[in-house]
Amino acid sequence: QYDWVSYKNLNEINAWLDQMAAQYSSVASVRNIGTTIQGRPIRLFKISKKSGNRGIFVEANIHAREWISSATATYLINELLTSTNPDIVDISTNIDWYIITNANPDGFVFSWDSNRNWRKTRAPVSALCFGVDPNRNFAYNWLTPDETGSLGASTSPCTDTYAGPSPLSENETRAIESVFADNAGKFDVFLSFHSYGHYLLTAWGHTRVPPADNSMLQTVGNAFRTALQAVNGINYAVGPTNTVLYAASGASPDHAYGHHGIKLAYTLEMRGNGNYGNYGFVLPPQFIIPNAQEVIAGLVGLVRSARTFG
């Protein structure tokens, strides 16, 4: 029996995705969008209850150790398919959802079996080291320094923010890119689920210059923040990645916005440190459900605000 009382491993998550796709086959499906270097499928779960909908694209656990991100993605899928709450029924009926619960399957398995603190993929990248940071490998302004000269990424294969040998060099980032390319014009919102720190981050990561859509991004982001805070009192900071957090080039939201024109592109940094404890990436499982409930309330607020922009 699947639950959100404990974290689930990749096999358990994949079996559950198969089961949900079978049980709700008239509205849900799961398919492979790529294969990792170790041969694991990269899987996209799709929910569509009505034809003609526009879509939201969610990518989770691209960083291996951020287990709360995939646990929240599966919780979201479950709510979208089973909830009778009118707000959830609204967003599940009137929006198509494309959800990658585990964007970095090799890294995720490694974080379970060998090193709980692993972040990157498991591609062999030098004689000594493994792993590209997939969230530095996207094409838009890949490895581009900002105004202060900060790259927000590394060219050294052994570091945790290694950008890879070239843009979209990795199977994981190309799989995500294929979802953007195959569904051009479909998505109004792109969400990259991460942990931790209670942030909702907007463009840009690669520059300190505010994006053209900054005021809309802030307004919609503040609606997320207010709705999220109402659930358990957690206070998210909303703003451009490079000024609110740090420089980061080659991240997926910059690519979604800059390359594919998806304006409402956000990184969510979920629970890890707060008045509930200082856990970092190793967030105890009793926080899965409160984290997921507040994030989903935030998403309801985000959608409501986004709709006012047409």
Binding site for Zn ion (CB under 5 A): 63, 66, 194
Any bridge partners for residue 267, and if so which? 192, 201
Query: Using CB under 6 A, which of 48, 267, 291, 305 touches ligand 0X9?
Result: 267
Q: Using the rule CB under 6 A, which residue among 49, 194, 198, 260 binds ligand 0X9? A: 194
What DSSP string runs through 133-178? -GGG--STTTT---TTS--SSBS-TTSTTB--SSTT-SHHHHHHHH
Residue 79: which of 68, 89, 69, 65 has the closest Cα? Answer: 89
Q: Which is nearer to ligand 0X9, 143 or 248 (CB)?
A: 248
Residue 130's nearest CA partner among 153, 100, 112, 106 is 106
With respect to ligand 0X9, which residue has the nearer C-beta, 30 or 190? 190
Q: Which of 171, 241, 291, 305 binds ligand 0X9 (CB under 6 A)?
A: 241
Query: What is the contact mask toward ligand 0X9 in residues 154 to 183, using x (rule: CB under 6 A)?
Result: ------------------------------
Judged by beta carbon, residue 131 or residue 253, the one nearer ligand 0X9 is 253
Rounded CA separation 84/236 (Å): 27
Task: Report the distance separating Cα 107 and Cα 305, nearest Å.
Answer: 35
258 binds ligand 0X9 (CB under 6 A): no
Q: What is the dihedral of CA 6, 296, 221, 168, to 10 degrees?
A: 60
- Residue with nearest beta carbon to ligand 0X9: 205
CB of 135 to ligand 0X9, least distance (A): 4
Q: Evaluate whether 268 touches 302 at the Cβ level (below 8 Å).
A: no
> Where in the sequence numbering do the catalytic residues fall?
269
* Contact region with ligand 0X9 (CB under 6 A), list: 17-25, 30-38, 51-59, 251-259: 251-259
